[in-house]
């Protein structure tokens, strides 16, 4: 249950950061920065969806179409069409937190439906993948915080 608490804490911190990021900066990509605030916020969302579906295949990915915009390797400079509104991404992050907390509260000790391997790290349990989701989110929340200040 501690991993769920850490996830909720991390998500609340992320929400504070994105809610206070000036909207006029959401699409600015300064210097050698790889992406924007909008991309990082959407990336946090879709990465959690995909990784937690690997942890437990019964966890249904919400907004799978967002992967085309926010998956690793995508770039806002390559987007065509309408951008997702900041408010839509923020609301999705808020809603996702409740779904994740509810769905995974009793599943942390279970084996992952599909192990997740990143470099030398192999995550074989639901809890290990959730812990990585928290780490990953914190990295991107830090990037959003930096981008909102430059």
* pTM assigned to the model: 0.96
**Owner of token pair 């937690």:** 52
Written out in words, the top-level CATH class of the domain with range 2-149 is mainly alpha
Q: How many CB atoms lie within 10 A of CB 3?
A: 17
Domain coordinates in residue numbering, the chain? 2-149
| Nearest of 86, 47, 78 to residue 63 by alpha carbon | 47
Kindly tell me if the per-residue pLDDT of 31 is higher than 90. no
Kindly tell me if the per-residue pLDDT of 1 is higher than 90. no
| pLDDT per position as a tens digit, 34-78 | 899 999 999 999 999 999 999 999 999 999 999 999 999 999 999
Q: How far apart are CA 125 and CA 117, in angstroms?
A: 11
Per-residue pLDDT at 81: 86
| pLDDT per position as a tens digit, 91-115 | 999 999 999 999 999 999 999 999 9
Q: How far apart are CA 1 and CA 127, in angstroms?
A: 9
């Amino acid at each position: 249950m501690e991993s769920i608490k850490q996830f909720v804490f991390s998500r609340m911190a992320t929400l504070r950061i994105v809610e206070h990021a000036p909207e006029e900066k959401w699409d600015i990509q300064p210097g050698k920065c790889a992406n924007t605030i909008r991309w990082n916020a959407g990336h946090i969302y879709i990465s959690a969806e995909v990784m937690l579906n690997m942890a437990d295949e019964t966890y249904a990915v919400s907004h799978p179409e967002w992967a085309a915009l926010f998956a690793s390797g995508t770039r806002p400079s390559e987007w065509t069409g309408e951008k997702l509104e900041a408010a839509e991404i923020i609301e999705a992050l808020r809603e996702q937190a409740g779904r994740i907390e509810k769905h995974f509260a009793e599943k942390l000790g279970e084996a992952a439906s599909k192990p997740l391997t990143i470099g030398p790290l192999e995550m074989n349990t639901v809890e290990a993948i959730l812990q990585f989701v928290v780490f990953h989110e914190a990295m991107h929340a830090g990037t959003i915080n930096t981008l909102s200040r430059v």
